[in-house]
Structure 1
């Protein structure tokens, strides 16, 4: 009787375990492995030097200590469970009970009694896709212990009493960050794939991985610039942001790009897009097959887009008002000059939409009626349900952030990029750490991740205003935000609004976008797309991916709205196009950039977008 028969080959995971598979984990050339491990350690030392040197020279000042805030927050959870012996025993008992269940299942499998099956709590996780995480007793035990420990830690936060909402939110977030970091999949000798790679290459993968780590810290000038794609495969203006057009206006804050028509006639009302300044506008123009901008041009829109400046210390005093006046208002004037039209449709994306909403309220108070419709893409105007980004915003953390921005004159783009990556650490951080630095593999070319890495800096005055007025104090929806010496009231915005949320959005949660609809004073059509903050927006019809839901105005709770909504497969773009045409479908002869108004200043995509952080 062979080993497979002894363990019950038709049963569970260990039944498929073949002891001969251990060959892949036995070192064949110890001397060569030792040499490569020494080289890897040498490269790791170089990486440490790249990290330390800018700090010793004073080029990098770490005024924000997230570890200190994490310890302070989690200590409140620990204090609750340790303050009474009965609670301590309860917490220990929950964990030990789970461990005992794992141990008994392991013994059953090893003794050939079959697989009793894992409880639902041991959820499927793509970090553990390799079959060895289930077939190999050692790795299977590690996986199960890790998963139940992570779930136990989350329950400790959930069940802790006496925590205010913000502290509980932060504690839950920090626990997820910790459990994501300590996953056995993230370590060389507890990840079967990496372990096999070490054996098969005699450690050459670690040598290459530590070399890549050194390069990434050097590229970040003392900060880890985690490579998520092959940067050499992309260049803005060469295979990204290709839609033809001209820069028709430029201010200290932005360039305004007008795109060349592809139809004989165009809609009478031009279309101006206000993207977020936290990232660059070409997320809407990644390439011809994915470009929302090109698609709009092909539908007959005269499209303009704001390309925000990538600020440095010279722009430190530029405020929210500056971005409103020298950004949106400046661009509206440029559209007027280039087309002769005063009736304009606007689109605002993410924080660009938040700025647009506040600007429209100011317009309403001044009697400025140029904007005839507003489309908001994954935009928050009410921040009660703003999601995990609120973890980074409280008085203490804002004070530290403002001190850092004051010292440098800007917030480094890497800081915001890191914050966004942390929202999905198990997808956007650790898989790349494992693949890049432990396996020593270059990431695949992916345009979206190139854009994600092309981060922008932020001015201290603008960013501090945004965080305080929106995330911390929620002043916009309350009618308490002050701009240009007057209170901003979204109820004054009575133009038609198309408000798109993405169901899996982790930056502007659908619940938050939905809640914000009720603050506008005019008709609001709420639409929910499938996927997340990017894919839910950048979803060309030709791809036939995802879906969207419609159910009229945002009334009641989001779950109730969804329950009665109509689901349509594919992209929301045609639905939006029909919404625009229903409000005004008049057409005129196609408008070429530069045919009217001042002479163009250059070719699209302009110069501001080319400045890297």
Structure 2
């Protein structure tokens, strides 16, 4: 190559990088502008300033403790330096630490990046330990301090920055910066849409390749559409099943692909299956509270299923927050002498006692409730993207920073993944009910207080519920911790079966037998042990899905076999094909 050609190539490359930097600056400016607007004008939506202040005051109050922590960090840092200077980085205090953010061999192949990795892990470990050891903080403030510190520590990982991530640098050299150009295009598009994409959203369509189990919408009101699914067996159990999914998500988490669909599987077991498809709240739902979800929602659905089938009662499932409300409904039915309408109840990762509700409790102090009210006061509902961000923060490395690296720095194409498509299909939440849910249930734990909550003017008491219950919890659930779900067994008084499933809030539930994944723990003892630890100690581990255990429990409670029921052929006429209109509303 001639000297002139080489010079021209260098100029062209310089111009290319200048252009990339300009695009990056513009994108980040737009990002921060939108972040301020998205918080309702509140520059501190998580209440970080007050938490940092409390942490600083606690540290200053005990300088000896602070000096001790600094000394420990300094001593381990000396060991780290010594290990690298001696050419034995494997002997440092954190050499063996496992972290999938640094799974790429490139981190260990280059001593500079290996030192960077270990330095970060060492610092992160000491920072978290120091915050956890702060004295003078209340339980809530300590939990919030740990959560916010972890967000900061995770954000500062060298894997999240282009110049300190060897995989990003390698991709940049190989593609001559095309990865960064593609990443900027992804970022700009996400900014335009007001949310971070995790998946190729064009690869899926509700009713085309997800939520495709055949059925009919047979009833609708402003709160929900009721779907009845077409039978696949000649006879069915007499007692129908009605499923109440959480209204903070779309129901088709239980009806993804045919292979993963709990709904399709339940139909194949000879059940007449109904599912509530909740409306995506808008200004017309500003008045919605607990009473509304119980009376216009759950009770109406139960009555319509009984009307459609002629059965004397129903079996029910409540998932997550819908399970919480279903529990309240059962207490209301018990108080009003209508308990016979519900033959059995199954809870998927649902809570009624929030004394051990985990990290989500940090979002229910007065400051956070005021922020939520400010975000929704002009509309009557909370934008679902705010809640989605909250849940993503609970697993920020997996659900935020992983996509920052892959989508914005590596410039990778979005993958077609049905579960992530569902996860990104957010729903709004009625403001009044959401505030009440967080304040009265999460913060004040009123649902387990006899008379603490009233429905339609009737005080309810969970201890009056004698409905047979199947209670499922996820061993690794970070939204409804297993210990919290287990508390149901302390309040209900009917026969109960508790099952602990492997994995978490979603994969622990959506685990078809055909996949042979995970495991579950069951006990055939006459009564459920008093604590989760005692249950685990005495339970039997069973490989694979817990679904067969559930149907073995439900079938004897489902009556005799009757001719299969065809949707729309009974007293409730078909309105439209499943999955209906309501589930297709996107925000």
Q: TM-score, normalised by structure 1?
A: 0.91
Give the whole-Å Cα distance in 2 for the aligned partners of 1:35 and 1:130.
Answer: 31
**8 Å Cα contact 2:468-2:496 kept in structure 1:** yes
The alignment status of 1:357 with 2:327, answered yes or no, reads yes
Q: Deviation at 1:68?
A: 6.3
**Equivalence for 2:507:** 535
Q: Equivalences for 1:168-247 in 2 at 5 Å?
A: 168-220=142-194, 225-247=195-217
Q: Deviation at 1:40?
A: 2.5
**Equivalence for 2:266:** 296
Q: Deviation at 1:374?
A: 0.2
Range with greater deviation from structure 2 (240-249 or 63-72) = 63-72
Give the whole-Å Cα distance in 1 for the aligned partners of 2:573 and 2:318.
Answer: 27
Give the whole-Å Cα distance in 2 for the aligned partners of 1:169 and 1:429.
Answer: 21
The alignment status of 1:398 with 2:369, answered yes or no, reads yes
2:567 alignment partner, SS class: coil
Give the whole-Å Cα distance in 1 for the aligned partners of 2:341 and 2:62.
Answer: 64
**8 Å Cα contact 1:414-1:455 kept in structure 2:** yes
The alignment status of 1:455 with 2:459, answered yes or no, reads no
Give the whole-Å Cα distance in 1 for the aligned partners of 2:136 and 2:62.
Answer: 14
Give the whole-Å Cα distance in 2 for the aligned partners of 1:352 and 1:319.
Answer: 13
Q: Deviation at 1:404?
A: 2.1
**Equivalence for 2:116:** 142
2:208 alignment partner, SS class: coil
- Deviation readout 1:120-152 (Å, 9 max, x if unpaired): 685201100111212311101111111011111
| 90, 97, 110: which one aligns with 2:68 | 90
**Equivalence for 1:502:** 474
2:404 alignment partner, SS class: helix
Give the whole-Å Cα distance in 1 for the aligned partners of 2:31 and 2:134.
Answer: 38
**8 Å Cα contact 2:354-2:441 kept in structure 1:** yes
Q: Equivalences for 1:428-507 in 2 at 5 Å?
A: 428-479=399-450, 480-507=452-479
Range with greater deviation from structure 2 (465-474 or 265-274) = 465-474
| 489, 505, 508: which one aligns with 1:517 | 489
Q: TM-score, normalised by structure 2?
A: 0.95
**Equivalence for 1:611:** 585
- Deviation readout 1:279-313 (Å, 9 max, x if unpaired): 00000000110000000000000000000000112
Q: Deviation at 1:535?
A: 0.3
The alignment status of 1:163 with 2:124, answered yes or no, reads no
**Equivalence for 1:250:** 220
The alignment status of 1:266 with 2:244, answered yes or no, reads no
Give the whole-Å Cα distance in 1 for the aligned partners of 2:304 and 2:362.
Answer: 39
| 353, 360, 366: which one aligns with 1:389 | 360
- Deviation readout 1:243-272 (Å, 9 max, x if unpaired): 000000001000000000000000000000
Q: Deviation at 1:191?
A: 0.4
The alignment status of 1:37 with 2:17, answered yes or no, reads yes
2:503 alignment partner, SS class: coil
Give the whole-Å Cα distance in 1 for the aligned partners of 2:95 and 2:477.
Answer: 24
**Equivalence for 1:24:** none
Give the whole-Å Cα distance in 1 for the aligned partners of 2:389 and 2:503.
Answer: 21
**Equivalence for 1:7:** none
Q: Deviation at 1:33?
A: 4.2
**Equivalence for 1:125:** 99
Give the whole-Å Cα distance in 2 for the aligned partners of 1:374 and 1:84.
Answer: 52
**8 Å Cα contact 2:94-2:122 kept in structure 1:** no
**8 Å Cα contact 1:51-1:218 kept in structure 2:** no
Range with greater deviation from structure 2 (32-41 or 402-411) = 32-41
**Equivalence for 1:555:** 529
| 275, 280, 285: which one aligns with 1:305 | 275
2:317 alignment partner, SS class: strand
**8 Å Cα contact 1:122-1:147 kept in structure 2:** no
Give the 3 Å change call, closer, same or farther, for CA 455–576 of structure 1 in structure 2.
Answer: same
* 5+ long unaligned stretches in structure 1: 1-27
**Equivalence for 1:276:** 246
Provide runs of 4+ in structure 1 moved above 6 Å: 52-56
Give the 3 Å change call, closer, same or farther, for CA 30–204 of structure 1 in structure 2.
Answer: farther
**8 Å Cα contact 2:244-2:319 kept in structure 1:** yes
Give the whole-Å Cα distance in 2 for the aligned partners of 1:530 and 1:163.
Answer: 34
**8 Å Cα contact 1:248-1:594 kept in structure 2:** yes
**Equivalence for 2:86:** 108
Range with greater deviation from structure 2 (243-252 or 72-81) = 72-81
2:210 alignment partner, SS class: coil
- RMSD of the alignment, in Å? 1.9
Give the 3 Å change call, closer, same or farther, for CA 38–409 of structure 1 in structure 2.
Answer: farther
**8 Å Cα contact 2:76-2:93 kept in structure 1:** no
Give the whole-Å Cα distance in 2 for the aligned partners of 1:310 and 1:316.
Answer: 12
Give the whole-Å Cα distance in 1 for the aligned partners of 2:277 and 2:572.
Answer: 18
Q: Deviation at 1:598?
A: 3.0
| 329, 349, 371: which one aligns with 1:378 | 349
1:279 alignment partner, SS class: coil
Give the whole-Å Cα distance in 2 for the aligned partners of 1:54 and 1:89.
Answer: 40
- Deviation readout 1:442-495 (Å, 9 max, x if unpaired): 221100000000010011111111111111111111221122112221111101
